[in-house]
Structure formats: C-alpha cells, structure tokens
Structure 1
C-alpha cells in the first residue's frame, strides 16, 4: 500500500471510530442526525466497505432516518429515550456500555478489565479525560482511543516516520478488548432497542470491527512488513 492510500485509509478509519465514539458517548444529537441525513454517510459506506452485517445496519439506520426526516425533533427525542434506556438509565440498563460489566464474573464496574484498559491507554501516554467520572472501559472511550491511534498513525506516515507501533496497538486493542465483549453488547442492543436506528447501529458496530480487524492484519503484513525490511 502506497503512502497516499495508507493515509486515506487511516483517515477514513478515524472518522468511523469518531462517529461511533460520539454516538455511544453522547447519543444521537440533532447535529449528528442532520449530518447523517445531509452527508449520506450511511448510504455511501456500504458501497465502499464489503461487509453484509455493516451494510444491513446502515440500511436499517438510513431507512428510519429517511422515514422520520420530516419529524426530526420528535424522532430525536425517541432516539434519546432509547439511548438512555439502553446505556444510561436511570434504573436497569438493557445494554451497559462498559467492558468490565460483560467480562467480569460479578458484572461490576471498575474491575480488572477497567484497569487493564486504563493501563493500555497509559502505555501510549494517554489518560482518559473522564478518569474517575466515567470508567475507562466505556465503549465510547474505547472507540475514541481507536480514533486517536488512527490519527496518530496518519500523522506519523505523513511525516515519513514509523507508524507500526500504533497500528499494532490497534490490532492488540481489538483482540484483547473490543472483540472480547462488543459482540455480546451488540446482541443485547439488538434485542432491547425500540428503534431501528439502534438495532442498525449494533449491526454496524459488529460489522465494522470485523472489517477493521481484517484490514489491519492485511496492512500490517503489507506496509509495516515492508517498512521493517
């Protein structure tokens, strides 16, 4: 993969991870929904990424967005209510967005998994801006970390410097963390969501992680292998 293609790939990945980070941390705000309608991201992505799960998720999200575009204020309120019921509360959460809840035996926050994620961030010189207010293993923060690694790798490539460390970090984070719990979370979202938007988002998320893991492996074999030789 040449430099320009690699940069384009890294920048595209950063955008998708930032999109997912924002949705899982803040919910579908009016600005984001308007951008999705205007920029047709959910229409264009399936044409450029070959993954049936991602394509189905995009179609579900886009279909509901299109159908409700004339009543966006009421629709956004419905989505926010669904988001709160799934991820925020009050009360029982249908899809708690923290790794430790899915991976610890006690299903509790701030467990060993949270500390492992915190240490992973720290190994790249980062600390969660929400430390001690939001567990480090919130899905939105994990997606934000992946976006940061993509952005940093792109800056390294642009400067003609070694980017392997950041790509390998992404591959490890996917294998050791995201792939270990996000599929189960997405299954819970699909079962409990009351809107097609969030059912589609669950499929989008699972499909994207599958695509990214495969592409990362190919790029590391190609580009980074070439850099080392």
Structure 2
C-alpha cells in the first residue's frame, strides 16, 4: 500500500528557517569559492542590509558588522587586501588551508581520500546536481559541498507543496551533512579561525561552525514532525 503524506504544518520559526537557510549556504559558498573581488563584497554588503538574509549567529553578526563597516573611501583597498588573504589561505602549493574534504580528512583522520571523493560524486549524481566548474574545482571542495546544500535547500523550499519530494530532499541533506560536510567543516572552521586575523574570514569560520550544526538540528526536528501517516 502506498504511503500517504499529510499536509505540511510549519511553525513560524520553521517558515523563517526554510525561507532563509539557502542564503546561509550561499554566503559561505561565495566567499570560500573565490577571491572576494569588489563586486562580491558589494553584493553581500547590500544583502547584509536585508535583515535575516545572513544568519544572525555570532559569526553572522561579526560578518555583517564587518561588511557594513568598510568605509567607502577604503573600499577598493579593503577588497584588494581580502583577495590577497584568500590567495594566501586557499590558493597554490603554499596554501595555508586544505579546502577539499578528501584531503582534509586524510590528513586529520586517515580517511581513504579516493573513497571519500567518489562517494561525494555519487551523492551529487543521485540528486541530479551537476556543477559548472570553471576553474577545475574538485567535487569535494568546501565551496561545492556548500553549494550542493544550497541547491537542495532551495529545491526543498520550491517543492514545499510536494510532500514526498520535499521529504526526499530533506533526507538527502541530513545524510550529506552527517556523512560528509559536518565530518570536516567544523574542524576546517577551527583551523581557519587560527590561520587568519581577517574579520571576513574569522567571521565566515564562526558562521560555518554555527550554521551547519544549527541547520542539521532544524532539519532533523522538522523531519521528525513530518513522518508519513
């Protein structure tokens, strides 16, 4: 007998979370995927004016405060400095940070790097997500894993009237957070906080640490209340 799904019931908190969570993944993905040129910083400085677009956690407030505080007359200089910091942290053989899950977890826990990246690719394929990788990014780069979550979060929001599809997307996100992203994103955030003094990157690190854990709790809580009848 086919399962039936009752209409979704959302609390006001859940409605706000469902509408805004994609933005949390997007801001993290944007700043961790490429050097923050003037257009990117200007984009998110504008978004910071929109209440709730950037999660208002401790790290989120730090990031918002920093973006808003950049003086207009120093905007170009600050953007150049933050782009140079991105290069130092994430680019080239001498990069301070390891930005790919398989390599990070091989270093920190002795994980099988090939098996790790193969599983990530399989999950993307199973969920019909294909990335347009312009710079040869690895599938398990922190930014692509965050973008995968953003895509599914936005899909879940747009499919909220289709219970089975929405629940399937929720399960995929819970599984990916538990088996991949949260296995290394929080240690990655801790290393980033130690590696940089930039309020941009320390704010992003704190936001990464706080947001993923909160989002998983919210997903689980919502999923537990939506079990099929």
Question: TM-score scaled by structure 1?
Answer: 0.83
Q: CA deviation at 1:199?
A: 0.8
User: How much is the aligned-residue C-alpha RMSD, in angstroms?
Assistant: 2.9
Work out whether residues 15 and 147 of structure 1, in 8 Å CA contact, stay in contact via their aligned partners in 2: yes
- Equivalent in 83, 103, 109 of residue 105 of structure 2: 103
Which stretch of the first structure deviates more once superposed, 176-185 or 57-66? Answer: 57-66
Given the superposition, is the C-alpha separation of residues 66 and 7 from structure 1 closer, same or farther in structure 2, using an over 3 Å criterion? Answer: closer
Alignment length (residue pairs):
219
d(CA) in 2 for partners of 1:131 and 1:36?
Answer: 22
Question: TM-score scaled by structure 2?
Answer: 0.83
Q: CA deviation at 1:36?
A: 3.1
Q: CA deviation at 1:124?
A: 1.1
Work out whether residues 27 and 44 of structure 2, in 8 Å CA contact, stay in contact via their aligned partners in 1: no
C-alpha deviations, 1:53-91, integer Å up to 9, x for none? x31x233323433443231100001110111111123x3
- Equivalent in 1, 8, 18 of residue 10 of structure 1: 18
C-alpha deviations, 1:7-28, integer Å up to 9, x for none? 6533311122122211111232
Q: CA deviation at 1:42?
A: 8.7
Given the superposition, is the C-alpha separation of residues 96 and 34 from structure 1 closer, same or farther in structure 2, using an over 3 Å criterion? Answer: same
Match of 1:196 in 2: 199
Structure 1 unaligned residues grouped into runs of 5+? none
For 1:13-92, list aligned pairs within 5 A. 13-40=21-48, 44=52, 54-55=57-58, 57-70=59-72, 71-89=74-92, 91-92=93-94
Q: CA deviation at 1:116?
A: 1.0
d(CA) in 1 for partners of 2:87 and 2:135?
Answer: 21
C-alpha deviations, 1:133-177, integer Å up to 9, x for none? 221001111111111111222222245654111001000000000
Q: CA deviation at 1:109?
A: 10
Work out whether residues 23 and 53 of structure 2, in 8 Å CA contact, stay in contact via their aligned partners in 1: no
Given the superposition, is the C-alpha separation of residues 42 and 83 from structure 1 closer, same or farther in structure 2, using an over 3 Å criterion? Answer: farther
d(CA) in 1 for partners of 2:22 and 2:222?
Answer: 15
Work out whether residues 102 and 181 of structure 1, in 8 Å CA contact, stay in contact via their aligned partners in 2: yes
Structure 2 unaligned residues grouped into runs of 5+? 1-7
Match of 2:3 in 1: none
